[in-house]
């Protein structure tokens, strides 16, 4: 029996998961998303084309793989239809290669309204969500009020009516006057579109595939610091973005997890509110944002930028059991004279190398080490041997600090701009 490999973000999302899933897909038979929903925006670039995927796994552009949307994902039928139709129009035979779990929860039109109303109530303490109804949908799942894709197969209108009326009462109690009949009609017709896909018991499909020695890659969304348990709570998303999320979000037993690929950027970004110890408010932060095109793939919001945070990365590696690291966007730092890395925090004059419980409330002073930049354009480099010596020193430094091998280096957004090192293994 083979094991499943898991690829997930180690920071606050947008690490480049979509790109790397696409690069690794030829080595797999199945690619499966295990959590999150259309709050995700996974960008892929190849052959001068660019795609941003929201709910659909990033393994659809290679040849022959089956892609699965697992039970842990929350689906918005309207956004799914838009995404799917655009891909079909681009020639992707989605109906043949995409399967969706019956147990995936549905995002209702009223979930989006509740998301907005919750944010409004929080005022200046708002999370800065993507507004896609993610929190309210997972809330309903956990409070056992949710609707699942499989529910669309029998008596759906009735079940939908109960859920909608409950939401309307909640919205009214929050002082809202919800009006969503147009959205609702669109949503109901999008449900029919969704039902034209292969709706399956994905836990059986995946475990059967493993029994047949097929190879499965699980694709995470968001990142570890947005995990509902271990992230910078409450400024997090509402799912388990960590490795264990692949077990509960796909029905894969923990002893079936193989490689855990942890992705991080050579620096750090975050969208939305919440703590960010190494955030830069100066010219350097702006320079990273400009060079890295750090604007949200979903909302177009400016991403906050800062230096790499090794305290947070070590924490993420520990929580996920990362076996290999993948460093993205190294090229963004190509022209910097100096590169900084945060190796510790100082809180109230006390040094720590732990990611603290009160990361949201404490004033954290990052402790940095500074290294010389490599001052070389790496975007055309295709092999390990060509890498500039100072960059190799930086990678060696990170590997030593993080006690985990960095086996893939990304030097540009395109599929081709990827250096798979000799240490990489599946
Ligand atoms: P994801 O959500 O983790 O899949 O990441 P996003 O797609 O939201 O954000 C990553 C952005 O960086 C996208 O615009 C990618 O095209 C781009 N990107 C990925 N890898 C690299 C890289 O190595 N260098 C540069 N310059 N851009 C990259
Ligand atoms: P990918 O998969 C970056 C952030 C939002 C907000 C918080 C909660 O592309 O890496 P939510 O809508 O989930 O309730 O918002 O989480 N967030 C992301 N940030 N990348 C993402 O996904 C994100 N998905 C959610 O900005 O701060
Ligand atoms: Mg993204």
Given a cut of 90, whether residue 388 has pLDDT beyond it is: yes
Q: Does ligand 1 lie within 6 Å of residue 411's CB atom?
A: yes
Q: Does ligand 2 lie within 6 Å of residue 226's CB atom?
A: yes
Count of CB atoms within 10 A of residue 282's CB? Answer: 7
- The pLDDT of 26-45, averaged and rounded, is 97
The residue nearest atom 2 of ligand 1, judged by CA position, is 14
Q: pLDDT-derived band of residue 297, with 50, 70 and 90 as boundaries?
A: confident
Model confidence pLDDT, tens digit, residues 163-186: 999 999 999 999 999 999 999 999
Q: Does ligand 1 lie within 6 Å of residue 14's CB atom?
A: yes
Q: So what's the pLDDT on residue 426?
A: 86
Given a cut of 90, whether residue 362 has pLDDT beyond it is: no
Q: So what's the pLDDT on residue 360?
A: 84
Distance 381 CA to ligand 1 centre (A): 17
Q: Does ligand 2 lie within 6 Å of residue 269's CB atom?
A: no
Atom of ligand 1 nearest to the CA of 410: 23
**Between the CA of residue 233 and those of 8, 237, 290, what are the distances in Å?**
19, 9, 29
Given a cut of 90, whether residue 250 has pLDDT beyond it is: yes
Give me the residues near ligand 3 (ion), CB cutoff below 5 Å: 14, 41, 297
Whether cis (ω within 30° of 0) applies to the bond prior to 156 is no
Distance 292 CA to ligand 1 centre (A): 8
| Ligand with smallest separation from the Cα of 7 | 1
Catalytic residues: 14, 42
Given a cut of 90, whether residue 385 has pLDDT beyond it is: yes
The residue nearest atom 9 of ligand 1, judged by CA position, is 14
Q: pLDDT-derived band of residue 135, with 50, 70 and 90 as boundaries?
A: very high
Q: Tell me, what DSSP letter sits at residue 416?
A: T
**CA-to-CA distance for 36 and 219, rounded, in angstroms?**
10
Q: Does ligand 2 lie within 6 Å of residue 58's CB atom?
A: no
Contact 104, 250 (CB under 8 A): no
Model confidence pLDDT, tens digit, residues 253-266: 999 999 999 999 99
| Ligand with smallest separation from the Cα of 327 | 1
In 3D space, the residue among 157, 181, 177 whose CA is nearest the CA of residue 168 turns out to be 177
Best residue for ligand 2 mutational test, from 7, 222, 227, 231 (most atoms within 8 Å of Cβ) = 222
DSSP 49-73: EEEEESSS-TTSSSSS-EEEE-TTB
In the chain, the percentage of residues whose pLDDT exceeds 70 is 100
> What is the C-alpha radius of gyration for the chain, rounded to an integer number of angstroms?
21
Q: Does ligand 1 lie within 6 Å of residue 387's CB atom?
A: no
| Ligand with smallest separation from the Cα of 21 | 1
Tokens of 249: 């979000």
**CA-to-CA distance for 10 and 408, rounded, in angstroms?**
15
Atom of ligand 2 nearest to the CA of 220: 2
Q: Does ligand 1 lie within 6 Å of residue 59's CB atom?
A: no
pTM over cut 0.95: yes
Given a cut of 90, whether residue 151 has pLDDT beyond it is: yes
Q: pLDDT-derived band of residue 221, with 50, 70 and 90 as boundaries?
A: very high
| Ligand with smallest separation from the Cα of 126 | 2
Q: Does ligand 1 lie within 6 Å of residue 15's CB atom?
A: yes
**CA-to-CA distance for 44 and 51, rounded, in angstroms?**
5
């Amino acid at each position: 029996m083979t094991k499943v490999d898991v690829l997930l973000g180690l920071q606050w999302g947008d690490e480049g998961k979509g790109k790397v899933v696409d690069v690794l897909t030829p080595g797999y038979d199945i690619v499966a998303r295990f959590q999150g929903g259309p709050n995700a925006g996974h960008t892929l670039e190849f052959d001068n084309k660019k795609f941003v995927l929201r709910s659909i796994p990033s393994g659809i552009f290679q040849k022959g793989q089956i892609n699965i949307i697992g039970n842990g994902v929350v689906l918005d039928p309207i956004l799914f239809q838009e995404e799917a139709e655009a891909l079909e129009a681009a020639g992707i035979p989605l109906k043949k290669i995409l399967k969706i779990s019956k147990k995936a929860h549905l995002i209702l039109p009223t979930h989006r309204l509740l998301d907005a109303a919750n944010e409004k109530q929080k005022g200046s303490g708002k999370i800065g969500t993507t507004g896609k109804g993610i929190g309210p949908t997972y809330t309903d799942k956990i409070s056992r009020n949710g609707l699942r894709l499989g529910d669309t197969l029998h008596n759906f209108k009735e079940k939908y009516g109960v859920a909608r009326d409950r939401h309307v009462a909640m919205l009214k109690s929050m002082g809202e006057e919800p009006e969503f009949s147009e959205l609702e009609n669109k949503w109901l017709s999008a449900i029919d579109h969704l039902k034209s896909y292969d709706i399956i018991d994905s836990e059986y499909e995946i475990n059967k595939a493993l029994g047949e020695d097929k190879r499965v890659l699980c694709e995470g969304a968001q990142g570890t610091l947005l995990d509902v348990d271990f992230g910078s709570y409450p400024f997090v998303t509402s799912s388990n973005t960590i490795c264990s999320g692949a077990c509960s979000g796909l029905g894969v037993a923990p002893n079936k997890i193989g490689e855990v690929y942890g992705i991080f950027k050579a620096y750090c970004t975050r969208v939305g509110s919440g703590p960010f110890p190494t955030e830069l408010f100066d010219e350097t932060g702006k320079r990273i944002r400009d060079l890295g095109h750090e604007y949200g793939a979903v909302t177009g919001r400016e991403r906050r930028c800062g230096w790499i945070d090794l305290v947070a990365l070590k924490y993420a590696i520990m929580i996920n059991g990362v076996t290999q690291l993948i460093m993205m966007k190294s090229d963004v730092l190509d022209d910097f004279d100096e590169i900084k890395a945060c190796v510790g925090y100082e809180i109230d004059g006390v040094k720590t190398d732990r990611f603290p419980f009160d990361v949201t409330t404490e004033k954290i002073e990052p402790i940095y080490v500074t290294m010389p930049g490599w001052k070389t354009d790496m975007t055309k480099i295709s092999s390990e041997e060509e890498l500039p010596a100072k960059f190799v020193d930086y990678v060696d430094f990170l590997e030593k600090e993080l006690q985990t091998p960095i086996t893939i280096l990304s030097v540009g957004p395109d599929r081709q701009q990827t250096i798979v090192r000799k240490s990489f293994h599946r």
